[in-house]
C-alpha cells in the first residue's frame, strides 16, 4: 500500500530543542527524543514500520493540574474555566470540536493493534490505585523515556501529602470514583434498551449522517513551536542547554528542557516539587514580552501562506493551505510545510513541528507524532483517515482529559473504534452534547473552520499567584486581566456582551460568576465594574464552599469574555445604532423616531434572512446578531420571529417608564426599565444608577398587559405612530 502517512523532517542537530509545548489547554505529547525509542524511531526520522501512521506512539500523559500563565488564550477553550480537574472549560481558538463540558487537556496517543506496554503501564499507574489516580504525571515525553514513572509518581505523592492540593485531589478522586459507580449502574439499567434493534438502527443512521459530512477537500496544518518558552531561553542563554532548566516559578512550571526531564521534571509541575526531584534545577522566570515578539515573527511568516490563519496561544497556529495550493498549482502540501518551518528556523533560530490533515482535529493529532522539529502527513483518503482514527486513543482527542478517559475506560472504551462500537449504550448514559462531540471526534470528523463562518466563542486570561486574601492585590490583578482583554478585543476588532470571573482558593476549590452586559463593548470602563461585582460573588461562593469561617485566600484569578461579535458585522447589521451611550435615551418621541425605524429595518432584514435560510436542511448555530436589541432598555432582544405589534408594545412601555423616571428622578443617568418582570409585578422607579442585572435562567417574557395610558392600547399602535412630531 502506498505510503500515505509519512513522518517527515530532519532536525539540524545544533537547533534541536526541548519539545515541551507551552499551550495552556494541554501539554503536547509524545515528542521524539534523539536516542532511538523501543519502537526504533529517532526524533525527526522515519520508521518504515510506521508508514501508515498506525503504530503505537506512546501512552498519554496527564493534564496539568494548574498553570502559571499570563498570556491571553482565545477560544477552543484555557485551562481552567471549569471545575473538573481544574481544566474543564479550556477555550482554544475558534474550534467547534472543543467544548466547555469536556476536560481541557488534549493529551493522548495512538494505540497499536495489539496491547502495548505503554497502555499496560498506563492502566497500572492510573487505574484503581489512589496514588495513581491523583498523581499520574506521565513519563512519556521526549527526554523522559528512561524515567521510572512509578517512582516519580510515588515521590510526587509523598512530597504533596498534607498539602491543600493533595487534599483537593483526594476529594476529586473520591468524587470521580462515585461518578464511575453511578455510570456503571446506569449502564446496567440501560443495556436492554441499547441492545434493542430500533435503538441500534437509530445510532447507525446517526453515524451514517455524520459520515456523509466528511470533508476531505481541505488541507489543514497545525504548527506547534517546540518547547517554545524553554527554547527561547536556551537560544538567548546557550549555557542553559547543558543544565537542567525549567521556565516558570516555584509555584508552577510551564516547561522543562531535556536535561531536567531526565529527573522527571516536566510542565504543570509545582516548582518546589521539581526542585526536590532535581536539586540542581535552574528555574527561569517567564518573559512574556519576548515570547509575544517572537510569536508575532512566526505569525508574519505563516500569513504568507494563509492570511486567515488562526492562532491558539503564542506557540500554536492553524492554517488552511487549500487556497494557497490551488493558486500555485500544487498538489503535495509537505514541501510547503517544510518551507515554512525552515523559514521559522532562519528567522528565529527556533524549531517547529507540524501536522497536515484534512481537518483541524486530525492536524493537531499529527503535529505531535514526529516531535520535535518534524512533520507528519495524513493523506486525505477515506480509508487512510478511517484506519488512522480507529487506532487513536480517545485521550488523544482535544477536549478529552483524564476524568473522561477514566470514565470511558470504565466502559471498556480506549480507542476511537471502541467508542463507535459502544455508541448505542454511550448515547444513553452520556449527555447529548458530550456524546455528539465524542462520536464526531471518534469518527475523525473535525472542523476546518475555514469552510464555515462560526464565530470565535470567547477570549480569556488568568493568573496564578501566591495565595492571599488581600483585596487590593485581587483588584490589581483583576484590573490587569481586564486591561489585557480590552487590548485583545481592540486588536481583533471584536466586542463582547458577556463577562465571567473565575477564582481558585488556596484549597484549590474553583468557582466562577458570569453576567450578560447591557450592550456590546470593549471598554474597561464597562468591563471592570462588572468584573469587580462578579469577583465579589465568586469569592462569596468559594468562601462558603471552604467553610465560611473567614474570607478564602485566593491563588488564581481569571476573566473571560464571551458572546463575541466582529465590529464590522455589528456595524453592517445595524446593531451599532442601538448601542446608545448612557444618557442618550430621554424617553421623548423625537429620540424614539430615530431609533424605532432602525428596529423596524433591522427586524425586517432579520425576518427576510430567516425566511431565506429556513429551507436549509441542516440547522445553523444561532448568530448573536440574529436579534435586534431594544433601543431603550438594551436588555430585551427582538427575534426575527417577533411580530411588529409585540415590538411596538414593548418599546412603548419602555419609553413611558423612562419618561416617568425622568420626571420623578432627574439624577438618573441610565434609566432602569422593567421589561422582563412578571405581568403582576411592576418595577418601582429607580432612584439611582442600576446595578447590572442578573441574567434570567428562564426565557424572557414580554408583558402583554394592556396600556391604559393616553394614546390607547399599545396593542393597537404601529411603528409609524412613533414618528409623530416631538411636540404633538
> Which residues are tagged catalytic?
316
Contact 324, 218 (CB under 8 A): no
Q: How many residues does the chain have?
A: 728
The residues near 291 (Cβ < 8 Å, ≥ 6 apart) are: 71, 228, 229, 232, 314
The residues near 392 (Cβ < 8 Å, ≥ 6 apart) are: 108, 110, 111, 365, 415, 416, 444
Distance in angstroms (rounded) separating the CA atoms of residues 56 and 121: 14
Strand partners, 317: 223, 311
Distance in angstroms (rounded) separating the CA atoms of residues 196 and 357: 37
The rounded radius of gyration (Å) of the Cα atoms in the chain is 28
DSSP for 282-350, written as a single string? EEEPP-HHHHHHHHHHHHHHHTTT-TT-EESSSSEEEEE-HHHHHHTT---SHHHHHHHHHHHHHHHS-
**What letter would DSSP give residue 88?**
S
CA angle 341/337/385 to nearest 5° reads 135
Distance in angstroms (rounded) separating the CA atoms of residues 172 and 157: 15
**What letter would DSSP give residue 535?**
H
Pairing of strands 352-357, 375-377: parallel
| Sheet-wide strand order for 245-248 | 253-256, 245-248, 282-284
Distance in angstroms (rounded) separating the CA atoms of residues 226 and 11: 12
Give the CA diameter of the chain.
Answer: 89
Contact 398, 91 (CB under 8 A): no
Distance in angstroms (rounded) separating the CA atoms of residues 633 and 647: 13
Distance in angstroms (rounded) separating the CA atoms of residues 514 and 180: 30
Going through 176-286 in order, the beta strands assigned E by DSSP cover 220-225, 245-248, 253-256, 282-284
Interior/surface letters 540-555, b for 16+ CB within 10 angstroms, e for the rest: ebbbeebeeeeebbbb
Contact 66, 464 (CB under 8 A): yes
DSSP for 347-390, written as a single string? HHS--EEEEEESSHHHHHHHHTTT-SS-EEE--S-HHHHHHHHH
CA angle 384/363/562 to nearest 5° reads 135
Positive or negative CA dihedral for 339, 340, 343, 344?
negative
Distance in angstroms (rounded) separating the CA atoms of residues 10 and 728: 81
Pairing of strands 494-505, 316-320: unpaired
Amino acid at each position: 500500500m502506498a505510503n500515505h502517512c509519512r513522518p517527515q523532517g530532519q532536525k539540524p542537530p545544533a537547533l534541536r530543542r526541548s519539545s515541551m509545548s507551552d499551550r495552556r489547554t494541554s501539554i503536547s505529547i509524545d515528542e521524539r527524543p534523539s536516542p532511538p525509542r523501543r519502537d526504533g524511531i529517532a526524533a525527526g526520522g522515519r520508521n518504515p514500520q510506521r508508514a501508515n501512521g498506525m503504530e503505537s506512539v506512546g501512552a498519554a500523559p496527564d493534564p496539568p493540574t494548574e498553570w502559571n500563565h499570563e498570556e491571553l488564550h482565545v477560544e477552543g477553550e484555557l485551562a481552567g474555566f471549569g471545575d473538573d480537574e481544574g481544566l474543564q472549560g479550556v477555550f482554544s481558538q475558534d474550534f467547534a470540536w472543543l467544548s466547555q463540558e469536556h476536560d481541557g487537556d488534549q493529551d493522548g496517543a495512538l494505540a497499536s493493534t495489539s496491547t502495548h506496554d505503554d497502555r499496560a503501564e498506563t492502566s497500572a499507574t492510573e487505574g484503581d490505585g489512589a496514588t495513581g489516580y491523583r498523581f499520574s504525571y506521565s513519563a512519556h515525553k521526549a527526554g523522559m523515556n528512561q524515567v521510572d514513572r512509578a517512582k516519580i509518581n510515588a515521590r510526587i505523592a509523598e512530597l504533596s501529602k498534607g498539602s491543600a492540593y493533595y487534599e483537593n485531589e483526594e476529594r476529586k478522586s473520591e468524587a470521580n470514583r462515585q461518578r464511575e459507580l453511578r455510570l456503571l449502574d446506569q449502564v446496567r439499567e440501560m443495556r436492554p434498551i441499547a441492545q434493542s434493534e430500533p435503538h441500534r438502527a437509530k445510532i447507525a443512521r446517526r453515524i451514517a449522517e455524520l459520515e456523509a459530512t466528511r470533508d476531505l477537500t481541505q488541507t489543514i496544518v497545525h504548527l506547534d513551536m517546540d518547547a517554545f518558552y524553554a527554547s527561547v531561553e536556551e537560544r538567548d542563554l546557550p549555557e542553559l542547554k547543558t543544565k537542567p532548566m525549567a521556565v516558570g516559578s516555584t509555584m508552577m512550571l510551564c516547561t522543562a528542557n531535556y536535561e531536567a526531564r531526565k529527573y522527571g521534571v516536566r510542565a504543570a509541575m509545582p516548582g518546589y516539587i521539581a526542585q526536590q526531584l532535581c536539586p540542581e534545577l535552574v528555574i527561569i522566570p517567564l518573559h512574556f514580552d519576548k515570547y509575544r515578539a517572537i510569536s508575532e515573527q512566526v505569525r508574519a511568516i505563516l500569513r504568507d501562506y494563509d492570511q486567515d490563519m488562526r492562532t491558539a496561544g503564542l506557540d500554536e497556529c492553524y492554517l488552511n493551505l487549500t487556497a494557497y495550493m490551488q493558486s500555485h498549482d500544487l498538489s503535495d502540501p509537505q514541501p510547503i510545510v517544510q518551507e515554512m518551518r525552515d523559514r521559522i528556523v532562519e528567522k528565529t533560530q527556533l524549531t517547529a513541528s507540524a501536522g497536515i490533515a484534512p481537518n483541524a482535529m486530525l492536524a493537531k493529532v499529527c503535529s505531535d507524532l514526529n516531535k520535535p522539529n518534524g512533520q507528519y502527513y495524513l493523506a486525505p483518503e477515506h480509508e487512510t483517515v478511517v484506519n488512522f482514527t480507529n487506532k487513536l486513543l480517545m485521550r488523544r482527542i482535544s477536549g478529552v482529559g483524564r476524568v473522561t478517559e477514566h470514565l470511558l475506560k470504565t466502559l471498556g472504551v480506549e480507542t476511537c473504534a471502541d467508542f463507535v462500537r459502544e455508541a448505542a449504550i454511550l448515547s444513553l448514559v452520556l449527555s447529548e452534547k458530550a456524546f455528539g462531540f465524542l462520536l464526531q471526534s471518534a469518527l475523525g470528523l473535525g472542523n476546518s473552520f475555514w469552510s464555515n463562518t462560526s464565530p470565535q466563542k470567547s477570549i480569556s486570561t488568568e493568573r496564578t499567584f501566591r495565595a492571599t486574601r488581600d483585596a487590593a492585590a485581587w483588584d490589581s490583578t483583576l484590573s490587569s486581566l481586564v486591561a489585557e482583554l480590552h487590548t485583545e478585543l481592540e486588536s481583533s476588532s471584536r466586542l463582547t456582551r458577556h463577562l465571567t470571573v473565575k477564582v481558585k482558593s488556596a484549597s484549590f476549590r474553583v468557582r466562577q460568576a458570569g453576567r450578560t452586559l447591557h450592550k456590546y463593548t470593549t471598554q474597561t470602563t464597562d468591563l471592570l465594574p462588572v468584573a469587580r461585582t462578579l469577583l465579589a460573588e465568586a469569592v462569596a461562593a468559594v468562601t462558603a464552599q471552604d467553610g465560611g469561617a473567614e474570607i478564602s485566600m485566593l491563588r488564581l484569578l481569571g476573566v473571560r469574555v464571551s458572546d463575541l461579535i466582529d465590529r464590522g458585522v455589528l456595524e453592517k447589521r445595524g446593531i451599532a445604532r442601538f448601542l446608545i451611550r448612557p444618557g442618550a435615551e430621554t424617553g421623548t418621541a423625537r429620540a424614539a423616531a430615530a431609533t424605532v425605524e432602525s428596529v423596524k429595518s433591522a427586524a425586517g432584514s432579520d425576518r427576510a434572512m430567516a425566511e431565506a435560510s429556513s429551507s436549509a436542511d441542516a440547522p445553523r448555530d444561532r448568530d448573536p446578531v440574529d436579534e435586534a436589541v431594544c433601543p431603550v432598555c438594551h436588555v430585551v432582544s427582538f427575534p426575527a420571529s417577533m411580530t411588529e405589534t409585540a415590538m411596538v408594545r414593548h418599546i412603548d412601555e419602555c419609553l413611558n417608564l423612562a419618561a416617568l423616571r425622568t420626571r420623578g428622578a432627574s439624577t438618573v443617568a441610565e434609566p432602569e426599565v422593567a421589561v422582563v418582570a412578571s405581568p403582576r409585578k411592576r418595577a418601582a422607579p429607580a432612584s439611582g444608577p442600576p446595578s447590572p442585572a442578573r441574567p434570567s435562567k428562564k426565557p424572557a417574557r414580554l408583558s402583554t398587559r394592556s396600556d391604559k395610558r393616553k394614546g390607547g392600547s399599545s396593542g393597537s399602535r404601529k411603528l409609524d405612530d412613533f414618528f409623530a412630531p416631538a411636540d404633538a
